[in-house]
């Protein structure tokens, strides 16, 4: 908050009509700002209290922190998120960086933010619900602010009981019937594009090329 009201004497502290957990603070007979009731009580905001500009700054920063913390709680209530995701949402909402970092630290302290836990759960859920190759899974974690080492560890953990080649093979098996009437070069192109779009490496693409070559000869039309 760039501008703060000048200091003065509190002349009224009135409950807001629509939001009973908030109050309106008047200084020298004029409305100055709204506050969460808990913040007002914490700083002893009452009639005849004299506030300096610096005290008002501290009070309003506390107010902004509390609003931002509640916003972070709502964001996290929707689904698990990484620190970067919550940080980005708060900054986009206009919260200053210093207050945003204070909010992130508090969420971490309360156990609501844990990038290691998030990374492992995210990787497992992605592999279960939207199968993809190792590289794509790792890229998704990196894009959410997960560090290189932690992302690699989470991917290894998610793949502990899954063979990447077998996963790619299963995905292609679901697709191949749709390509029965396609020329062989087109099938190869579609297969490669699909696998690469799911984050599988070229070695896996090549391996599957060779594996289905006989099927291509038997069930697909000739090259043209």
Tens digits of residue pLDDT in 82-116: 999 999 999 999 999 999 999 999 999 999 999 99
Q: Determine the structural domain holding residue 198 and report its residue range.
A: 165-219
User: Is 224 a domain residue?
Assistant: no
**Residue-level pLDDT at 14:** 94
User: Is 14 a domain residue?
Assistant: yes
Whether residues 15 and 102 share a domain: the answer is yes
- Domain total of the chain: 3
**Residue-level pLDDT at 191:** 86
* H or E stretch at 158: helix 148-158
* Rounded Cα distance, 106 and 83, in Å: 11
**Residue-level pLDDT at 20:** 85
**Residue-level pLDDT at 218:** 53
Whether residues 14 and 87 share a domain: the answer is yes
* Separation in Å, CA 78 to CA 45, 118, 124, 197, 204: 34, 14, 19, 28, 36
**Residue-level pLDDT at 220:** 47
Instruction: Burial-class residue 181 by CB neighbours within 10 Å (0-12, 13-18, 19+).
Output: exposed
* Rounded Cα distance, 19 and 39, in Å: 14
Whether residues 42 and 105 share a domain: the answer is yes
Whether residues 20 and 80 share a domain: the answer is yes
Q: Are 8 and 26 in contact (CB under 8 A)?
A: no
**Residue-level pLDDT at 222:** 47
**Residue-level pLDDT at 224:** 43
Whether residues 51 and 102 share a domain: the answer is yes
User: Is 208 a domain residue?
Assistant: yes
* H or E stretch at 35: strand 30-36
* Rounded Cα distance, 220 and 164, in Å: 26
Whether residues 38 and 86 share a domain: the answer is yes
Please list the ranges in the chain whose pLDDT falls under 50.
1-2, 220-224
**Residues belonging to the chain:** 224
């Amino acid at each position: 908050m760039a501008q703060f009201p000048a200091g003065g004497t509190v002349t009224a502290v009135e409950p807001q009509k629509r939001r009973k957990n908030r109050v309106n603070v008047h200084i020298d007979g004029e409305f100055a700002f709204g506050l969460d009731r808990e913040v007002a009580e914490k700083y002893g905001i009452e009639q005849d209290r004299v506030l300096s500009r610096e005290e008002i700054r501290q009070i309003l920063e506390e107010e902004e922190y509390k609003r931002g913390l509640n916003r972070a709680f709502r964001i996290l209530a929707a689904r698990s998120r990484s620190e970067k995701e919550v940080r980005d949402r708060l900054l986009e909402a206009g919260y200053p960086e210093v207050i945003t970092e204070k909010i992130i630290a508090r969420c971490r302290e309360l156990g609501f933010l844990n990038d290691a836990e998030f990374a492992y759960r995210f990787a497992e859920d992605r592999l279960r619900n939207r199968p993809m190759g190792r590289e794509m899974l790792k890229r998704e974690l990196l894009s959410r602010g997960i560090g290189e080492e932690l992302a690699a560890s989470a991917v290894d953990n998610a793949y502990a009981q899954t063979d990447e080649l077998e996963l790619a093979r299963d995905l292609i098996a679901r697709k191949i019937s749709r390509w029965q009437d396609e020329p062989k070069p087109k099938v190869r192109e579609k297969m490669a594009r699909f696998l690469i779009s799911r984050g599988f490496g070229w070695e896996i693409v090549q391996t599957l090329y060779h594996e289905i070559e006989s099927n291509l000869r038997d069930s697909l039309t000739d090259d043209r």
